[in-house]
Structures are given as C-alpha cells and as structure tokens.
C-alpha cells in the first residue's frame, strides 16, 4: 500500500458486516482497512495504537452506542466518520443526529442482493470513504450538540401567495449538495424568508433518511421543507428534497413547475443526481432558474450547472473556505458554469436578491 492510501477502521457489532465492509473497501486499491472492532470500547483500544483516516461506524451496538462514541470522538480527537446504518425509517432520526454531531456522511449497510445492487453498494461505500478522507472536520463543543427546539406550525407552514406563483416569469431555485451538505442546507434554508421562491434540492443521501432529514429541517426553518413525491407542485415558501435512491426532475406544465420522481441508473455515480435535476431545470425553467451547488465530493452537478448558465440561468457556488469538501463546486467553476462564488452564509441572501 502507498503512503496515500486511505486507512479505515470499521466499527460494527456484526461480524458479517465487518467482513463485508472490509472486502468492499479492500477491493479499492486506494483504501486499506487497518482494523475492525465489534464495539466502541474495542475501537477506542485500537485508536491507542493506530489512527485511521476514516472510521465507519454503526449506531446500534452493545456496551456503548455509536452516537455516544461519536460525541466523545468529535469533542476530543476529531476523525472523519461515515455512519453505516440499516435501512429503517425508525432509526433514521438518530442517524441524522449523528450528522449534527459531526459525522461526515451516511451509507447503508451492504447486504446480499443482485449483482447490480452489490456493485452500486461498492461504489457508494468507497466513494463515501474517499470523500470523508478529504473532509475538514472540526472539534465540536458540548453546546453544539444541543438540538434546537422546533418552531410553531405558524412559522413553518406559510400559505400560497396568490396567483403570482403561477406567472410564467416565476423564478425557481435548484440546489445540489453531497458530503457536508446536510449542515450546509440547514444554514441555507434557515436563512430564507417565508416568501422565498420555490426550491428543488438534491442531497446525496440514502432512501428513508431524506424523509427524516426534510422533517427535521421543516421543524427549524421558516419555510416548509418536505420530501418530494411525484407531481409535487413547486411553491413559493417551500423546499422539496429529492427522495433517496430516486432521481428528481423539474418539469413544467403551463405556468406550473412540478417534480417528476423516477428510477434510473446511477448518474455521475449517484441516484438522485444533481446533474439530472440541473439539466431538467435548464430545459424547463431556463433563464428563470437559479442554480446553487454546494459542498460535496466528485463532479455531480458540474455539467448541469454549465447547462443552466448557458441558457441564461443565474448560478452560485459555495466557496472553498466554507465547504467540507470543495469537489463539486470546484468542478462546476472549472467548467465555467458559475456566475458567483460565495461563502455559505451569503448564499441565501444572494438567491433572494437575484429572484427579486
């Protein structure tokens, strides 16, 4: 193994999962599994002698749960952590809390399936680890671990603003994000006013987790946030998040923008794909679209961003200083698809300004 090899510690109470993850990760020549642990106590013992570049971590384990271990790790000696979770709606809320506590990404535990399923699992697991290895993680304080209370329904359920939303000149905002995007989207959406333009978002995240993620955002934002379903109307004061493992397209019928949710192959190694959303927005919204690309590994969204700019849409990229991983914004900038490069905290204001 070379000096540039990404060293990974696998932490999971299932011997089969540890074995499967080890085989998947070791199949990539740029990744080396340097240890496996059945629980956080065993993991802590291994960390005394070996410091990995990335840790894959289960949540539900004996002796100490993964969330408690993550808190201790991120307040004392931060290491990029990828949560490896089962596909359950009931556990998704706890897993999303792990992202708030400093985890970089979520992946699904690999399981037996078709050849295509296993290949997609391999791609997603290895890509998540590679992205985590490049992520900039910070030590967090105990005050940062407090979950903010939800606001009242009055603050999160603004009504339609009349016929204006159906004018043909109505602006629509499309957003793409990946590694680090859950926190970036929270900052962006919390800063938006109740009457902001309709928003469609692709965040690389497994199915079921997007619904819990949207619900959590809906509880802290002034606008309404929900997981998109097929044929959802894009409304002012509302953000629609693409469901995990499904592509989302922006379509138009007369003066109405709506979403199309569909299956399909991985695009740019992802489903949902930012490129799919951006291309559809370029086709159906054109110069009435505003494109935003945020933190993330890889190049998903770069081509679509250029297509948006080419049809007259206004395009914004998150800057390097505030990105956990600068891959996606950087690739969009390289292609010449970006009008403005801004720090995360300035993006919401610029979106509103450009749509006024």
Question: Rounded distance, CA 175 to CA 97, Å?
Answer: 22
Which domains, ranges and CATH numbers included, belong to the chain? 6-143 (3.40.50.2300), 153-355 (3.40.50.180)
User: Is the pLDDT confidence value at 65 over 90?
Assistant: no
Catalytic residue among 53, 300, 319, 323: 300
**Does residue 154 surpass a pLDDT of 90?**
no
pLDDT digits (tens, 9 = 90+) for 183-224: 999 999 999 999 999 999 999 998 889 999 999 999 999 999
| pLDDT of amino acid 159 | 29
At residue 142 the predicted structure's pLDDT band, cuts being 50, 70 and 90, is low
Helix (H, G, I), strand (E, B) or coil at 39: coil
Given a contact cutoff of 8 angstroms between Cβ atoms, the answer to whether 274 and 249 are in contact is no
Catalytic member of 39, 53, 127, 178: 178
What is the mean pLDDT of the segment spanning 1-29?
A: 90
195 is catalytic: no
Which run of H or of E encompasses 154?
helix 153-156
Tell me the average pLDDT across 157-164.
31
pLDDT band (50, 70, 90) for residue 295: very high
pLDDT of residue 87: 61
Examine the residue annotation and report whether 65 is marked as an active-site residue of this protein. no
Residues 348, 342: Cα–Cα separation, whole Å:
10
pLDDT bracket for residue 278 (50, 70, 90): very high
178 is catalytic: yes
What is the bridge-based pairing of β-strands 81-85 and 54-57?
A: parallel
Q: Report whether 294 contacts 287 (CB < 8 A).
A: no
Cα diameter, the chain: 65
Q: What average pLDDT does range 334-340 have in this prediction?
A: 98
Kind and range of the H or E run holding 247: strand 247-253
Q: Annotated catalytic residue: which of 39, 58, 92, 204?
A: 204
The per-residue pLDDT of the chain, averaged, comes to 88
Name the pLDDT band for 174 (thresholds 50, 70, 90): very high
- pLDDT at residue 152 is higher than 80: no
Report whether pLDDT(13) > 80.
Answer: yes
Inform me whether the pLDDT recorded for 131 exceeds 50: yes
- 19-55 pLDDT tens trace: 999 999 999 999 999 999 999 999 999 999 999 999 9
Q: What is the DSSP code string of 258-285?
A: EEEEE----BTTBSS-HHHHHHHHHHHT
Q: What is the pLDDT of residues 300-331, one digit of tens each?
A: 999 999 999 999 999 999 999 999 999 999 99
The DSSP result for 76-131, as a single string, is: HS---EEEEE-S-HHHHHHHHHHHHTT--EEEEPP-S--HHHHHHHHHHHHHHHHH
pLDDT tier at 138, thresholds 50, 70, 90: confident
Residue 215: predicted pLDDT: 94
Q: How far apart are CA 330 and CA 336, in angstroms?
A: 10
Element (H, E) at 32: strand 31-37
With a pLDDT cut of 70, the percent of the chain lying above it is: 88
Q: Is pLDDT above 80 for 158?
A: no
DSSP tag of 254: T
- Within 10 angstroms of residue 144's Cβ, the number of other Cβ atoms is 13
Select the more confidently predicted residue: 153 or 337: 337
On whether the CB atoms of residues 123 and 266 are closer than 8 A, the answer is yes
- Helix, strand, coil share of the chain (percent; to 5): 40, 20, 40
């Amino acid at each position: 193994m070379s000096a540039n090899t990404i060293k990974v510690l696998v932490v999971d109470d299932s011997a089969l999962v540890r074995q499967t993850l080890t085989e998947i990760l070791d199949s990539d020549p740029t990744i080396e599994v340097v240890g496996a642990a059945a629980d956080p106590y065993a993991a802590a013992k291994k960390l005394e002698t070996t410091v990995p570049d990335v840790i894959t971590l289960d949540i539900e384990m004996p002796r100490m749960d993964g969330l408690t271990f993550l808190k201790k790790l991120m307040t004392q000696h931060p290491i990029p952590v990828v949560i490896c979770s089962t596909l359950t709606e009931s556990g998704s809320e706890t897993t999303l809390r792990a992202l708030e506590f400093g985890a970089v990404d979520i992946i699904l535990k690999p399981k037996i399936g078709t050849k295509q399923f296993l290949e997609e699992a391999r791609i997603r697991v290895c890509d998540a680890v590679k992205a985590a290895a490049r992520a900039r993680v910070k030590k967090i304080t105990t005050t940062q671990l407090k979950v903010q209370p939800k606001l009242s329904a009055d603050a999160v359920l603004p009504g339609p603003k009349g016929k204006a939303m159906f004018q043909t000149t109505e602006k629509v905002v499309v957003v793409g994000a990946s590694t680090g995007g859950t926190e970036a989207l929270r900052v962006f959406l919390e800063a938006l006013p109740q009457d902001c333009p309709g928003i469609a978002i692709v965040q690389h995240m497994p199915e079921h987790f997007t619904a819990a993620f949207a619900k959590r955002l809906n509880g802290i934002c002034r606008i309404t946030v929900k997981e998109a379903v097929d044929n959802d109307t894009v409304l002012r004061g509302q953000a629609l998040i693409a469901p995990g493992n499904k592509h989302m397209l922006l379509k138009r019928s007369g003066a109405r923008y709506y979403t199309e949710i569909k299956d399909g192959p991985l695009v740019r190694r992802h489903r949902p794909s930012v490129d799919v959303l951006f291309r559809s927005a370029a086709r159906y919204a054109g110069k009435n679209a505003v494109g935003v690309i945020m933190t993330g590994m890889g190049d998903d969204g770069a081509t679509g961003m250029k297509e948006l700019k080419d049809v007259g849409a206004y395009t914004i990229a998150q800057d390097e200083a505030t990105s956990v991983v600068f891959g996606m914004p950087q690739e969009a900038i390289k292609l010449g698809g970006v009008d403005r490069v801004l720090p995360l905290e300035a993006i919401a204001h610029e979106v509103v300004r450009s749509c006024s």
